[in-house]
Structure 1
């Protein structure tokens, strides 16, 4: 089969076809099948390959190797037999919609800013395009509007294979200089680009286009968008998620951001009050503590690492010449903070970690971490190490 004349090019809307199996060999990714002709698009130009079936064999991936279009299947097919191929049409048409929309979008960016499309990737849920320059963020919504206008105008796409002479005189987008058989896809008024992908015949078939986000990326701009069926799926899950959040906050959909802000602020106020109560409690506990042989040991439940450190600092200020150990239980052990003026504290901490299956460290008279040992072992080791 002559390259660029396969069925997926002659009729990109072919969903089912018959062809002869010309080769079948077992490979690392299953069986590698070659046909006399095919409607299965092989991965290329940023567009994923088609999937579907050949007879009762599942087609999981398609790749062009040299002049062959290789179909990777889960079962072998008899060479010389005629098989019926069926595409996963929803997947194919979804790719056609989004690939065509990428042409329109990239073409309009090129017209307006002269930026090149330097990266194009089609994920299952969205499309990512990288441009060679920084698109002003305030212009993103206007570009989105222009693309949707082009969709609404239902423009007829044009596909041609110009001669070498005509190609040399033609202005078109391409990531590299091309020679020989070159396929040019034109969306009149929007874009002309060298491309090997599959596209819809009319821009109106795309349906809609939505930019999800845009950001600076390596000196250029990265844009993530959806079109066609992907845009509908994206809109569907967003509506459902908004409805859930709306119900959680008991707020109208257009008021959930404000409700979330209020919730966060209320949470911060509550956290501040809790911190104040905790601090008063720790001061109360500290007031009743006394050193024993130069050691202050405290076991408290449910203290966060920050609270442990704060409490240890409070106690060290109260007992500057004593070693302070504050411990709070966790599953299988204790979080700890030890404060001491001993210049060898870091070395001592490493020794305790070895004894108590611990980890952690620190500096400036304070170490913290975790011990995986029971209370008696922790308390005994701490007192034995620091008692005067």
Structure 2
């Protein structure tokens, strides 16, 4: 059994321990110690990293009370090794974890919902609740959570005696046996937890609920605390002011400015589509009335435009086809007819030029590979 120093003092950054085991394993070596300050992955909290002796600690797990340190180099068994955790990462996780306790505890107290899932991810912390909350509910929770931070309350962790534990009302995701570690934030939360936490709520700095969505009959909430909340704010603030400059609008008026820009863009798209339709009808006059087929190669034309141009051409000839692309990158095509079913033609095109696509009797669309000359010869011989 490894002595878990992180449970006694989550602020312990450096320590010494005896190496009790070292065996090769996938990705490095598994090292065991008589005691450790490295927190093992568990309860939604990632493992600590750092250094141990002359090795780098890459991962930490617990198995049957033994803490297994994955290192990038072996350590001599029986010798003492100095360990140092990556403190910046550890403290940030302490902020996130304690903030999560406060939020989950308040939600449980106000709405009777349980936190059934907790994950400290790369982008944010998520908590999964077994019921739904409104935006107003979450705003209220966020306000109360930050008030708990501003009060700078003590955060306690202890192993109550069995008799005391039996009468204690605490949160837990599962039935627990043996010694149970209880973490308490006065007025906010009492919860069974093995993680690391700050000593006082003021060290969290700030708790920000980012967003939420329905999830498995309940709701998933994304949040950030402390240093990660500040980083997130700085990034979004920089983006907001950059967009503000582009739109010549105040930061608080960006949503309205974007709505106006979208409306203007939609109007321009509609006008451009109408002008394009007129252009296609005008260009279609270049095709001889009653021609057997018309084959045109166009520059940088997207599938919707290919379709519209092809349909305009169909009014002048038996079969029309429009292609855009290049011999090196491949072709996008649209082929149609106002007089005959073009689906057999589409299948022949796909077979002859490693194509993909399909459509209706009046129009087929897809992609082709081949030279322009080969495609021209195909239409001359088959249409």
Range of TM-score over shorter length: over 0.9
**Is 1:307–2:293 an aligned residue pair?**
no
Q: Which moved more, 1:294-303 or 1:176-185?
A: 294-303
The corresponding residue for 1:139 is 137
SS at match of 2:36: coil
Aligned pair 1:209/2:178, yes or no?
A: no
Residues 96-175 of structure 1: matches in 2 within 5 Å? 96-175=94-173
Q: 2: distance between equivalents of 1:27 and 1:103? A: 35
Q: String of CA shifts for 1:5-64, please: whole Å, max 9, x gaps.
A: 511011110001111111111100211111111100000110000011012211111000
2:77 is matched with 79
- Alignment correspondent of 1:277: 275
Query: Could you tell me which residue of structure 2 aligns to residue 349 of structure 1?
Result: 346
> Aligned ranges for residues 171-186 of structure 1 at < 5 Å?
171-186=169-184
Contact kept? 1:325, 1:382, Cα under 8 Å: no
How many equivalent pairs are there?
381
Q: In structure 2, what is the equivalent of residue 363 of structure 1?
A: 360
**Distance of aligned partners of 1:9 and 1:294 in 2 relative to their CA distance in 1, 3 Å threshold:** same
2:322 is the counterpart of 1:326: yes
Q: Secondary structure at the match of 1:118?
A: strand
> Structure 1 unaligned runs (5+)?
none
Partner secondary structure for residue 225 of structure 1: strand
2: CA distance, partners of 1:314 / 1:348: 19
2:118 partner SS = strand
Please state how far the C-alpha of 1:318 moved relative to its aligned partner: 4.5
> Please, which runs of 5 or more residues in structure 2 have no aligned partner?
none
The Cα of 1:363 is off from its aligned counterpart by 2.1
Render the CA deviation track for 1:147-190: whole Å, top value 9, x for unaligned. 00011111112222123333222211111111111111111211
Instruction: Give the corresponding residue for 1:372.
Output: 369
After superposition, the C-alpha distances for 1:255-308 in whole angstroms (9 at most, x for unaligned) are: 333332333233223222322222221111112212576223233333221011
Q: Which residue number in structure 2 is paired with residue 200 of structure 1?
A: 198
Distance 1:93 1:172 in 2: 25
Q: CA deviation at 1:339?
A: 1.0
Aligned-residue CA RMSD in angstroms?
Answer: 1.7
CA contact (8 A) 1:171 1:192 kept: yes
Kept in 2, the 8 Å contact 1:32–1:73? The answer is yes
Q: Is the 8 A contact 1:115 1:132 kept in 2?
A: yes
Tell me the distance in 2 between the aligned counterparts of 1:207 and 1:254: 25
Give the 4+ runs in structure 1 shifted more than 6 A.
none
Equivalence for 2:13: 15
Change (3 A) 1:324 1:99: same
The answer to whether the 8 Å contact 1:164/1:179 transfers is no
In structure 1, C-alpha distance between the alignment counterparts of 2:88 and 2:172, rounded to whole Å? 28
Shift in Å, 1:382: 2.0
Closer/same/farther in 2, CA of residues 317 and 218 from structure 1, 3 Å limit:
farther
Q: Is contact 2:289–2:316 with CA below 8 Å preserved after alignment?
A: no
Cα distance between partner residues in 1 of 2:359 and 2:122: 46
Q: TM-score, normalised by structure 2?
A: 0.94
Whether the 8 Å contact between 1:356 and 1:377 is mirrored in structure 2 is no
Offset at 1:104? 0.7
Q: Which moved more, 1:154-163 or 1:52-61?
A: 154-163
Match of 1:60 in 2: 58
Aligned to 1:383: 380
1:229 aligns with 2:227: yes
The Cα shift of 1:130 comes to: 0.6
Q: Is the CA contact (8 Å cut-off) linking 1:332 and 1:373 kept in structure 2?
A: no
Deviation at 1:357, TM superposition (A): 2.6
The residue that corresponds to 1:91 in the other structure is: 89
What's the CA shift string for 1:311-367, capped at 9, x where partnerless?
A: 222233454xx1221222345332211113444x33332222121232211123311
